[in-house]
Amino acid sequence: MKKIEFSKEEKAEIVSRIRAYFDRELDPIGALPAEFLLDFFAEEIGPYFYNRGLRDAQAALLQRLDDVAEDIHLLEREEKF
């Protein structure tokens, strides 16, 4: 699987949110430790969220395909022999 990477802007936003969470709920954390934490989550935990997203997308797509199959069935006309 391809490594989960974020743009510079995304990483800055996520690090900011991590730091804000630590400020509210735990002890303040610096930018570098927050970046390390983000890298850990991206490497170790990110694949679980990514795979769940893929499974959810697949389920949604299969539901849509079932709906299309039903719509096509409704369009069928009676055949005369």
Q: Does the pTM exceed 0.75? A: no
| pLDDT surpassing 90 at residue 34 | yes
User: Looking at per-residue confidence, does 78 or 16 come out higher?
Assistant: 16
Taking residues 24-39, report their average pLDDT: 95
Residue-averaged pLDDT of the chain: 91
- Whether 2 has a pLDDT exceeding 80, the answer reads no
> How crowded is the C-beta side of 25, counted as CA atoms within 13 Å?
6
Token output for 39: 């890298």
First-last CA distance in the chain? 54
The answer to whether residues 54 and 11 touch, using CB atoms and an 8 Å cutoff, is: no
DSSP for 63-81 reads HHHHHHHHHHHHH------
